[in-house]
């Protein structure tokens, strides 16, 4: 359904030969564009979602095997966070916050090595962490919106008045 003030779209697909299924729901208004999609086969699935506002775009994913991650792209660049708290820096290197929260470590040659304070500041890891937190907040807000707007939380996925998936999907 599309109006001058925004709109929503939904679609679903099921392949009886492979058991594969997919569903997508998208929406937009004057201030944002958002959507979520899921694809799977059997008990294996991947779910994605995104929100775009004037502050940037946030995308997230999660899988039936427990993997998840968030990506935020805004005016300060791109920030990526995985479920394990591992981040991708602007420089293309991989970092994580130390257990005590006081410093950063960089993954190099199979090991985590402490990053000196000047390099951490140069790479703006603190700013990137703030962007990731904003991205996670936007992702949470989107998921809350999706739940309150009648999104399917169990069984199959629906769209366009039809439902597919027969009990498979998000658990």
* Cβ atoms of residues 27 and 151 within 8 Å: no
Q: What are phi and psi of 91, to 5 degrees?
A: -80, 0
87 neighbors 80 (Cβ within 8 angstroms)? yes
The rounded distance, in Å, linking the Cα atoms of 35 and 120 is: 34
Q: Give the pLDDT of the chain (171 residues) as one tens digit per residue.
A: 888 899 999 999 999 999 999 999 999 999 999 999 999 999 999 999 999 999 899 999 999 998 888 888 887 777 777 777 777 776 778 888 777 766 788 888 888 888 876 655 545 665 555 655 666 666 666 556 555 554 443 333 333 333 333 343 433
pTM: 0.56
157 closest CA partner among 41, 73, 38: 38
Helical (H) or strand (E) element with 3: strand 2-3
């Amino acid at each position: 359904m599309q109006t001058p003030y925004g709109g929503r779209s939904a679609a679903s697909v099921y392949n009886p030969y492979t058991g594969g299924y997919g569903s997508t729901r998208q929406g937009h208004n004057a201030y944002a564009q958002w959507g979520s999609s899921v694809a799977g086969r059997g008990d294996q699935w991947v779910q994605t979602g995104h929100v775009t506002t004037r502050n940037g775009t946030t995308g997230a994913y999660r899988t039936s095997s427990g993997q998840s991650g968030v990506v935020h792209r805004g005016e300060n660049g791109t920030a990526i966070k995985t479920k394990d708290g591992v981040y991708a820096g602007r420089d293309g290197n991989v970092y994580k916050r130390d257990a005590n929260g006081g410093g950063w470590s960089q993954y190099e040659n199979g090991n985590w090595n402490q990053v000196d304070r000047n390099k951490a500041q140069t790479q703006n890891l603190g700013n990137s962490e703030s962007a990731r937190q904003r991205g996670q907040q936007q992702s949470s807000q989107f998921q809350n919106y999706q739940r309150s707007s009648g999104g399917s939380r169990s069984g199959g996925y629906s769209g366009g008045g039809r439902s597919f998936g027969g009990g498979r999907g998000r658990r």
